[in-house]
Amino acid sequence: MCPVKGGRMTSDASVSSGDDSGGGSLWSMEDAPFTRFHAYMTWCTAGGPLCDGYILGIIALALTPMVDDLGLSTTMTAAVAASSLVGLFFGALIFGRVTDLVGRRTMYIINLVSFVVASVLLLFVVAGWQVLLLRFVLGLAVGADYAIATALLAEFLPRRQRGTALATLLGGFWAGYTISFIIGYVMIDVGGLGWRWALASSAVPAILVLALRAKAPESPMWLAQRGRRAEARAIVRDRIGPEYTLPEVPPEEGQRMEWHAIFRSGYGRRLFFIAAFWACQVADQYAVFTFQPRLLDTLGISNENLGTVLISLFFVAGVVPFIFLVGSWGRRPVLLVTFIVGAAILALLGAFPAMPAALIIIGFGLFGVCNAGGSVLQWVYPNELFPTGIRATAVGFGAGMSRIGAAAGTYVVPFLFEEGGASVVLWIFSGVALLGFLISLPLAPETKHMRIAESSGTTHSER
Q: What residues contact 8, with CB distance under 8 A and at least 6 apart?
A: 25, 27, 31
79 in Cβ contact with 411 (< 8 Å) = yes
The pLDDT confidence band at residue 14, using thresholds 50, 70 and 90, is very low
Region 122-146: what's the mean pLDDT?
A: 88
Asked whether residue 59 is domain-assigned, the answer is: yes
Segments forming the whole domain that contains residue 177: 26-455
Q: How many domains does the chain have?
A: 1
- The type of residue at 75 is T
Confidence of residue 433 (pLDDT cuts 50, 70, 90): very high
294-322 pLDDT, tens digit per residue, is 666 666 665 656 666 666 677 677 778 88
Region 423-452: mean pLDDT is: 90
Q: Of 89-98, 115-124, 371-380, 450-459, which range is least confident?
A: 450-459
Lowest mean pLDDT among 238-242, 251-255, 287-291, 440-444: 251-255
Q: Are 147 and 395 in contact (CB under 8 A)?
A: yes
Helix (H) or strand (E) holding 2: none
Q: Is residue 96 part of a domain?
A: yes
Percent composition of the chain: helix, strand, coil (DSSP 3-state, to 5) = 80, 0, 20
> Is 127 among the domain residues?
yes
The larger pLDDT score, comparing residue 442 to residue 375, is at 442
> Torsions phi, psi of 244, nearest 5?
-115, 155
Residue 434 covered by a domain: yes
SS3 398: helix
Closest to 412 in 3D by CA, of 231, 227, 310, 286 = 286
Give residue-wise pLDDT tens across range 17-62: 444 444 446 788 988 999 999 999 999 888 888 988 888 778 877 8
pLDDT of residue 34: 93
460 vs 424, which has greater pLDDT?
A: 424
User: Among 41-45, 67-71, 120-124, which stretch is predicted with the lowest mean pLDDT?
Assistant: 67-71
Per the domain annotation, does 418 fall within a domain?
A: yes
Q: Residue 106 has what pLDDT?
A: 76
Note whether 92 and 139 are within 8 A (CB): no
pTM score, whole prediction: 0.71
pLDDT-based confidence at residue 101 (cuts at 50, 70, 90): confident
Q: Which of 222-226, 236-240, 444-448 has the lowest mean pLDDT?
A: 222-226
Q: Is the pLDDT of residue 337 over 90?
A: yes
Residues 20, 21, 25, 28: is their CA dihedral positive or negative?
negative
Is 2 among the domain residues? Answer: no
Region label for 241, one of left (φ > 0), alpha (ψ between -120 and 50) or beta (otherwise):
left
Report percent pLDDT > 90 for the chain: 20
Q: Mapped to the 3 state alphabet, what secondary structure does 177-191 carry?
A: HHHHHHHHHHHCCCC
pLDDT tens-digit series, residues 257-280? 565 667 766 788 888 999 899 989
The CATH number of the domain holding residue 293 is 1.20.1250.20
Span 221-230, average pLDDT: 86
The answer to the question of residue 16 being in a domain is: no
pLDDT band (50, 70, 90) for residue 239: very high
Segment 180-202, tens digit of pLDDT: 878 887 777 665 678 888 889 98
Answer yes or no: is 320 within a domain.
Answer: yes
